């Protein structure tokens, strides 16, 4: 069972449809898509990594663990139309993509649409899983507001994301 930190919604009670987020599992090229509350996905993925360290080497199981954690987190919102999917191609998100690369054991945030900035941040699974809520919140704020000190400046064309 994944222990997921519940992050307080900044707009609790308001419609948040369209807060889209993707998680890409490499090298499989499987996209896990969430249409609502995408701002929570980085925390949920971090908690899934913490809970299932022994599955970091298996892309299929890692994809399943993350997707099940996404569904489990949102299952109590029965009256709200929440959309998840497993895709073979990218759905345009409202947040940078969170990429889990099993071969390199790295997590990264990448942006390839609107104002493409490429790879914004990358570190090991262990380093990402070790981030405390306040550290992850600061990292996400720096990514959101375009802190250039984070940018790796490695452009990966969208067509090569798989």
- Of 29, 37, 35, residue with least CA distance to 10: 37
**pLDDT (tens digit, 9 = 90+) per residue, 7-33?**
333 333 344 556 788 999 999 999 999
Residue 13, domain member (yes or no): no
Residue 96 has pLDDT above 70, yes or no: yes
Residue 3, domain member (yes or no): no
The pTM assigned to this predicted structure is 0.77
The position carrying tokens 């759905």 is 91
- Helix, strand counts (H, E) of the chain: 4, 6
Burial 105-138 (b: 16+ CB within 10 A, else e): ebbbbbbbeeeebbbbbbeebeebbebeeeebee
Residue 7, domain member (yes or no): no
Task: Give the β-pairing of 118-124 and 106-111.
Answer: antiparallel
Instruction: State the total domains in the chain.
Output: 1
Residue 1, domain member (yes or no): no
Segments forming the whole domain that contains residue 29: 18-160
Residue 151 has pLDDT above 50, yes or no: no
């Amino acid at each position: 069972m994944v222990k997921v930190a519940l992050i307080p919604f900044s707009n609790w009670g308001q419609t948040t449809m369209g807060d889209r987020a993707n998680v890409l599992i490499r090298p499989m090229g499987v996209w896990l898509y969430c249409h609502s509350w995408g701002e929570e996905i980085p925390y949920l993925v971090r908690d899934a990594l913490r809970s299932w360290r022994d599955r970091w080497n298996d892309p299929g199981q890692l994809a399943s663990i993350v997707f099940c954690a996404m569904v489990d987190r949102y299952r109590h919102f029965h009256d709200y139309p929440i959309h998840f999917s497993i895709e073979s191609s990218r759905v345009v998100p409202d947040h940078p993509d969170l990429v889990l690369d099993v071969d390199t054991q790295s997590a990264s945030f990448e942006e390839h649409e609107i104002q493409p900035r490429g790879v914004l941040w990358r570190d090991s699974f262990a380093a990402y899983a070790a981030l405390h809520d306040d550290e992850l919140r600061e990292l996400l704020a720096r990514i959101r507001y375009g802190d250039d000190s984070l940018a790796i400046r490695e452009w990966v064309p969208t067509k090569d994301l798989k």
